[in-house]
Chain A
Amino acid sequence: MVADGVEDEEKWLSAGMAGLQQNAFYMHRALDSNNLKDALKYSAQMLSELRTSKLSPHKYYVLYMKAFDELRKLEIFFRDTISLGFSIVELYELVQHAGNILPRLYLLCTVGSVYIKTKEAPAKDILKDLVEMCRGIQHPLRGLFLRSYLSQVSRDKLPDIGSEYEGDADTVMDAVEFVLQNFTEMNKLWVRMQHQGPVSEKGKREKERNELRDLIGKNLHVLSQIEGVDLDMYKEVVLPRVLEQVVNCKDDLAQYYLMDCIIQVFPDEYHLQSLETLLSVCPQLQPSVDVKTVLSRLMDRLSSYAASGVEVLPEFFQVEAFMKLNNAIRKVTEAQADMPMVGVVSLYASLLTFCLQVHPDRLDYVDQILSSCVNELSVREGLDDSKATRQIIALLSAPLEKYKDIDTVLNLANYRCIMEYLNDSMRKEMANIIIQNIMNNKKTISTADKVDALFELIKGLIKDSGVETPDEPEDEFKEEQNSVARLIQMLHSDNHEEMLNIINTVRNHVLMGGAKRLPYTIPPLIFSSLKLARRLEGQDQSVTGEDVSVTPKKIFQIVTQTIDALASIPVPGLALGLYLQCAEAADDCDLEPVAYEFFTQAYILYEEEITDSRAQVTSIHLIIGTLQRTHAFGVENRDALTHKATGYSAKLLKKPDQCRAVYACSHLFWIDDHDNVRDGERVLLCLKRALRIANSVQQMANATRGSSGTASVVLFVEILNKYLYFYEKGVPQITVESIQDLIKLITNELRGDNIKSDAVADAFFSSTLRYIQFQKDKGGAISDKYKLIVL
């Protein structure tokens, strides 16, 4: 059925074309033989093809264009005829003898344009006559094309300023009047199209009308091109008249298109100066008109105008552009109660962009916009729409991007209120954006209040909402939490008390995060606390009376409580590490009991929670390392701790691990810069024990696999290195003989028949030997010692 329609149309078009071409042929003949009468006759017949009602606008246009081309030839002929002395007045009458109105008016317009060129009559009179006579075509499609033809042929003949047709009698006003009238009539026809024909074809008509809209819009373009239309005339005449037509036509398609057209066609400063008029129309448009897009485009245009240079900004202030726009938006949203949320939000987003561009210093404006937005959000539904989401995120991101400073944004009271209306995923996204922004701008946040506000904003990332989000990708979650962790690092105040407040604030927020988040968020918090503690220690002497509230002790209390929170989640490894960090920091602060307590906590964790042998190995090395560095402990405490640590070491499951842990323990007994810790006996004890374990590793290997693994050899070499280290340090219990025995032992092992040569062990051993050689050759006290070793 539809296909038939298209086919038929094709047929009609080609029939029309054929008729047109045939008559055009006769017309050409008449033109060639200078026969005016025939020329008129055949041109009228040719134009009669345009009387068809069977074509869609698209096809009709094809026909029209063909006729248009032919009429150009006719126009040239008319001009020649006139120049040969024929009276233009007579010609103007002659064409009006045609009985059919459509051909008559096309011819009249053609002759009219020649008439204006002759300047025998004022252009304005002719134009007025033409535009008036065109009323005879009330058929929308034909009328639109006829008037479009009129507009086309008259374009270069308007009595504009500076135009050759600007006679005494012709003012710009006449040109404007002419275009306005033609525009008005065209728009009426265009709108009427919608209401003619069966209801069932409404959609089709709408489509067809859309194809035609540029014919109408062109008039506005012509208006904007008229030199004489200055700001005053635009404000006083052009805009009011155009808007009157826009409002009165009561057609959504036309209103939307024309408003957009006005905004795009006329210069920015005109819009600015006539803002009130333009905006006052918006609430009067049909409810179905997409006012938000119109307004958004207007604001976008003005924004980019404002961005074009600071010298234009005073204009904006002078006309109070912001207030006007704000009012307009309010009215529009009031008038259109069922406007979708996305529309409302995008309106405010555009306004915000505008405001930031024009009034970057007026935070109150920004807040005002946000507050209006909050009001809207509270009464409307539908924020779940993904488009609305995008818009609201754009809205919230705009101030961040503009100010590049979270401080400023935190001052916007309503910013948070908007966040309240977001759903979880949006809140998260927004929080990410905020954090990203802070990171990019590298600005620290330095008061607890702000931190509090900030964490309120990003709470989407900080704590679980009531509703479970089932399948959130692990990676994403990690990424998010890592950024929160980074954010915590950005919080800094030079004032200790404030810093403590910040830490407390963050802690309060972070602790609500639940088991999943704590492993990510607690470490940075702890480190930042410890940093503060160390800073306090560094300037202990200068602590004055009023600063007393902040003491390292207090911080450590907080820290302890914080780490305790980790206990509820099984991440003992992390907790242990943190305790050790704390212990070290406490040690730095010379708080022996505190440090001891931390170690105790760490040991308890080790004993009770860490069961995995691998984790045990890691943990024990951490413990040993940390313990080795401490210096605040008294002998008893130290003994207790080191004893425990060596005990743990010897109880590791795998022998090599045992061996390594034990020889590591040796360091606990001999610390260079620590006079109290110089216990060579126990060092030797540890190393010997390590050797024993290494031996048993070798035997076990022999027993189970029939050949000694290379693992034990590596262990021997490692122990040798320890020997050398302590030998170098001057531990008296480490003798040259024991070293030489060890070297011999290793050499034998490596050469033994039942050992496959092992590159790693070989290399390790030979580089150790090279080291000894190197020390021998170096000279000096150490060298002398080494020289005692015989390889």
Chain B
Amino acid sequence: MNYIIGAFKPACHVTVTFSDEKSRKKVALKKEDGQTVMVPLFRSLETISGRVSVEPVLGKKVEHNGIKMELLGQIEMYLDRGNFYDFTSLVRELDIAGEIYERKTFPFEFSNVEMPYETYNGLNVRLRYVLKVTINRGYGGSVVQYQDFVVHNYTPTPTINSSIKMEVGIEDCLHIEFEYNKSKYHLKDIILGKIYFLLVRIKIKNMDLEIRRRESTGSGSSTHVETETLAKFELMDGTPVRGESIPIRLFLSPYELTPTYQNINNKFSVKYFLNLVLVDEEDRRYFKQQEITLYRLADSARQGETL
């Protein structure tokens, strides 16, 4: 991870190394070309420091008009012709104009960088953080090198976290009452709850609990909403009778979830829903969708939860 090769620019190799490279946690990041790479994980207000090494190829000298490093926070909207919006942009000048004959390293540091948003890879939008090294050369083009990193921000356990309880139904056909133990779940949480059947006049084949993600991009009239189902978890098999109560226990950890994002930089939002779906023998679907809030809890804050 500590080097990225500008293959089409054989003039020199530029490598970015983080100072706590060895100890820092790394997470998988899916790149545009579909490859997954492991990149370091940072939190907001952390100091990002390290070194950049420039190594000319085969003893060639590299002339330049200066070397700079930028820390960029970008939002890329696929529907907006792939435009980038930089919501964060910090610059460090690494070197003044000159020539490099042999391998040379430059330390860099961005202290206490405010990175309010998390890295996100959605259907129509991407939010990424990147270190960009630019070796300015008047002619022959500049050498640009990117180094991705991931930002996750932890949220403290919410103080108010009421359960979701609701009675729904179709008159004279189906009445159920369901309950989810919380309205806010952290990403490794377990959804517990139960469905209580008050009236059953249809032949239910099965009942699933789905986790759905709704990603809305843009604003105003150009808002685009896309929903995808991330989890489909069967809760019940067969037709219950009145008075039955069916337990829910859904582990969130196996699914690739993110926290709920509310209006990120006025560009996009990501919301999560629990969708309770009942399917009858004629394959008609009866469902009720409830929003839940997902948040990221620091690993250390999680208790060892058993069941």
Q: B-contacting residues of A (Cβ < 8 Å)?
A: 51, 89, 92-93, 96-97, 99-102, 104, 121, 129, 132-133, 135-140, 142-143, 188, 192, 196
- A136/B233 contact (C-beta < 8 A), A96-B251, A129-B307 known: no
Q: Is the CB of A135 within 8 A of B245?
A: yes
| Contacting residues, chain A, for B233 (C-beta < 8 A) | 99
| Contacting residues, chain A, for B236 (C-beta < 8 A) | 101, 136-138
Minimum CB–CB distance from B130 to chain A (whole Å) comes to 34
Against A, the Cβ 8 Å flags (1 = close, 0 = not) of B231-260 are: 111111111110011110101011000000
| Contacting residues, chain B, for A142 (C-beta < 8 A) | 237-238
Q: Is the CB of A101 within 8 A of B234?
A: yes
| Contacting residues, chain A, for B246 (C-beta < 8 A) | 135-136, 138
A103 closest partner in B (C-beta): B234
Q: Is the CB of A135 within 8 A of B247?
A: yes
Selected contact of A136 from candidates B231, B239, B247, CB within 8 Å: B247
CA–CA, A135 and B249, complex, Å: 12
A96 closest partner in B (C-beta): B251
Q: Is B223 an interface residue (CB 8 A)?
A: no
Q: A-contacting residues of B (Cβ < 8 Å)?
A: 204, 206, 231-241, 244-247, 249, 251, 253-254, 304, 306-307
CA–CA, A66 and B239, complex, Å: 26
| Contacting residues, chain A, for B204 (C-beta < 8 A) | 138
Minimum CB–CB distance from A138 to chain B (whole Å) comes to 4
- A121/B244 contact (C-beta < 8 A), A99-B232, A139-B238 known: no
Minimum CB–CB distance from B57 to chain A (whole Å) comes to 44
Q: Is the CB of A99 within 8 A of B251?
A: no
- A138/B244 contact (C-beta < 8 A), A96-B251, A99-B233, A99-B234 known: yes
Task: Name 19 A/B residue pairs within 8 A (Cβ), A-sorted.
Answer: A92-B306, A92-B307, A93-B253, A97-B254, A99-B233, A99-B234, A133-B247, A135-B245, A136-B235, A136-B236, A136-B247, A137-B237, A138-B236, A138-B239, A138-B240, A139-B237, A139-B239, A140-B238, A143-B237
CA–CA, A143 and B304, complex, Å: 32
Minimum CB–CB distance from B236 to chain A (whole Å) comes to 5
Minimum CB–CB distance from B256 to chain A (whole Å) comes to 13
A129 closest partner in B (C-beta): B307
CA–CA, A89 and B231, complex, Å: 23
| Contacting residues, chain A, for B247 (C-beta < 8 A) | 132-133, 135-136
| Contacting residues, chain A, for B304 (C-beta < 8 A) | 89
CA–CA, A196 and B204, complex, Å: 12
| Contacting residues, chain A, for B254 (C-beta < 8 A) | 97
Interface residue SS majority, chain A: helix
Which residue among A51, A93, A133, A188 has the maximum number of chain B CB atoms within 10 Å of its CB?
A: A93
Given contacts A93-B306, A142-B237, 19 further A-B contacts (CB under 8 A): A89-B306, A93-B251, A93-B307, A97-B253, A99-B232, A104-B234, A121-B306, A136-B234, A136-B247, A137-B237, A137-B238, A138-B204, A138-B239, A138-B246, A139-B238, A139-B239, A143-B237, A192-B241, A196-B239
Minimum CB–CB distance from B235 to chain A (whole Å) comes to 6
Minimum CB–CB distance from B197 to chain A (whole Å) comes to 9
CA–CA, A618 and B246, complex, Å: 99
CA–CA, A143 and B239, complex, Å: 11
CA–CA, A192 and B206, complex, Å: 16
| Contacting residues, chain B, for A129 (C-beta < 8 A) | 307
Q: Is the CB of B237 within 8 A of A102?
A: yes
Minimum CB–CB distance from A142 to chain B (whole Å) comes to 6
CA–CA, A587 and B237, complex, Å: 102
- A100/B251 contact (C-beta < 8 A), A129-B307, A135-B244, A136-B246 known: no
CA–CA, A655 and B234, complex, Å: 114
CA–CA, A102 and B206, complex, Å: 11
Which 9 residue pairs of A and B lie closest in terms of their CB atoms, listed nearest first?
A139-B238, A138-B238, A101-B234, A138-B240, A97-B254, A137-B237, A136-B236, A100-B234, A139-B237
CA–CA, A102 and B238, complex, Å: 11
Q: Is the CB of B249 within 8 A of A96?
A: yes
CA–CA, A135 and B241, complex, Å: 12
CA–CA, A140 and B245, complex, Å: 15
Minimum CB–CB distance from B274 to chain A (whole Å) comes to 15
| Contacting residues, chain B, for A100 (C-beta < 8 A) | 234
Minimum CB–CB distance from A171 to chain B (whole Å) comes to 21
CA–CA, A142 and B237, complex, Å: 9
Selected contact of A97 from candidates B232, B238, B251, CB within 8 Å: B251
| Contacting residues, chain A, for B249 (C-beta < 8 A) | 96, 133
A126 closest partner in B (C-beta): B307
CA–CA, A99 and B249, complex, Å: 11
| Contacting residues, chain A, for B238 (C-beta < 8 A) | 137-140, 142-143
Minimum CB–CB distance from A694 to chain B (whole Å) comes to 108
| Contacting residues, chain A, for B244 (C-beta < 8 A) | 135, 138
| Contacting residues, chain B, for A89 (C-beta < 8 A) | 304, 306
B245 closest partner in A (C-beta): A135
| Contacting residues, chain B, for A121 (C-beta < 8 A) | 306
| Contacting residues, chain A, for B245 (C-beta < 8 A) | 135
CA–CA, A631 and B163, complex, Å: 122
- A51/B232 contact (C-beta < 8 A), A92-B307, A138-B246 known: no
| Contacting residues, chain A, for B253 (C-beta < 8 A) | 93, 97
B306 closest partner in A (C-beta): A89
Minimum CB–CB distance from A80 to chain B (whole Å) comes to 22
CA–CA, A136 and B247, complex, Å: 7
Q: Is the CB of B307 within 8 A of A51?
A: no
CA–CA, A100 and B207, complex, Å: 10
Minimum CB–CB distance from B278 to chain A (whole Å) comes to 12
CA–CA, A544 and B133, complex, Å: 152
CA–CA, A93 and B246, complex, Å: 19
CA–CA, A97 and B250, complex, Å: 8
